[in-house]
């Protein structure tokens, strides 16, 4: 029985100063690095995802035409190859075993919608490594962490959210998301870092 860690979208555009920066994003990046220093060895698979949008289209309506509503339409963010799409500097990625890109030309909140650099899906990766347990950290609690967690549960995995290593777009929806995920079967835990 092996474990996987998902590190969702710890990217410059989602941390302070980014196009869609959330409060606490930099702290998540640094906290994830400390967590990996202490715990990377416990995981068979460590997957880090990046939102990775096309520069020349609205990515399936994901980029707002006018004012974003911050629910289904967003400011331009995480355009492939730009600094905003890179991992936050506070996140040391040495322990990451698989890098996933998602959102090319379309909205993609869950990392199950992406593919690894090797062209593999996350679902296949979990099968291939016999992963039953998935721990999840990253940004944003109320969007991509939420969607990735629900997909992991849907795929039959036992999910833990490390609640001190996530940050959300809005306090209220982030709180509601943690309640929703707990009802869906996720365990809410602290990282201890
Ligand atoms: Zn996006």
Check if 9 is active-site: yes
Indicate the SS3 state at residue 2: strand
- What pLDDT shows up at residue 80? 98
Instruction: Give the domain 3-189 fold.
Output: Rossmann fold (3.40.50)
How far does the centroid of ligand 1 lie from the alpha carbon of residue 13, in Å?
A: 10
Closest CA to 2 of 47, 30, 44: 44
Rounded CA separation 175/187 (Å)? 14
How far does the centroid of ligand 1 lie from the alpha carbon of residue 103, in Å?
A: 6
Instruction: Say if CB 10 and CB 87 are below 8 A apart.
Output: yes
State the catalytic residue, choosing from 3, 9, 13, 142. 9
How far does the centroid of ligand 1 lie from the alpha carbon of residue 4, in Å?
A: 23
Rounded CA separation 82/147 (Å)? 24
How far does the centroid of ligand 1 lie from the alpha carbon of residue 102, in Å?
A: 8
State the catalytic residue, choosing from 3, 78, 88, 144. 144
Check if 102 is active-site: yes
How far does the centroid of ligand 1 lie from the alpha carbon of residue 140, in Å?
A: 11
How far does the centroid of ligand 1 lie from the alpha carbon of residue 74, in Å?
A: 8
pLDDT tens over the chain, length 193 residues = 799 999 999 999 999 999 999 999 999 999 999 999 999 999 999 999 999 999 999 999 999 999 999 999 999 999 999 999 999 999 999 999 999 999 999 999 999 999 999 999 999 999 999 999 999 999 999 999 999 999 999 999 999 999 999 999 999 999 999 999 999 999 999 999 9
- Which stretch of DSSP H or E encloses residue 189? strand 187-189
- What pLDDT shows up at residue 1? 77
Q: What is the pTM of this model?
A: 0.98
- What pLDDT shows up at residue 119? 97
Closest CA to 112 of 19, 18, 49, 187: 49
Domain ranges of the chain: 3-189
- What pLDDT shows up at residue 15? 98
Indicate the SS3 state at residue 49: strand
Check if 78 is active-site: no
């Amino acid at each position: 029985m092996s474990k996987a860690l998902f590190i969702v979208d710890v990217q410059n555009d989602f941390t302070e100063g980014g196009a869609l920066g959330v409060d606490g994003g930099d702290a998540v990046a640094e906290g994830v690095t400390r967590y990996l220093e202490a715990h990377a060895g416990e995981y068979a698979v460590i997957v880090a995802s990046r939102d990775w949008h096309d520069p020349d289209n609205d990515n399936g309506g994901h980029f707002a035409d006018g004012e974003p509503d911050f629910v289904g339409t967003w400011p331009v963010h995480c355009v492939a190859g730009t600094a905003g799409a890179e991992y936050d500097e506070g996140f040391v990625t040495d322990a990451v075993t698989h890098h996933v890109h998602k959102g090319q030309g379309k909205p993609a909140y869950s990392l199950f919608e992406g593919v690894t650099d090797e062209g593999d899906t996350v679902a296949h990766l979990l099968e291939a490594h016999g992963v039953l347990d998935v721990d999840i950290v990253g940004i944003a609690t109320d969007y991509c962490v939420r969607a990735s967690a629900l997909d992991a549960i849907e795929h039959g995995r036992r999910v833990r959210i490390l609640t001190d290593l996530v940050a959300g777009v809005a306090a209220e929806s982030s709180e509601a998301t943690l309640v929703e995920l707990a009802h869906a079967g996720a365990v809410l835990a602290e990282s201890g870092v």
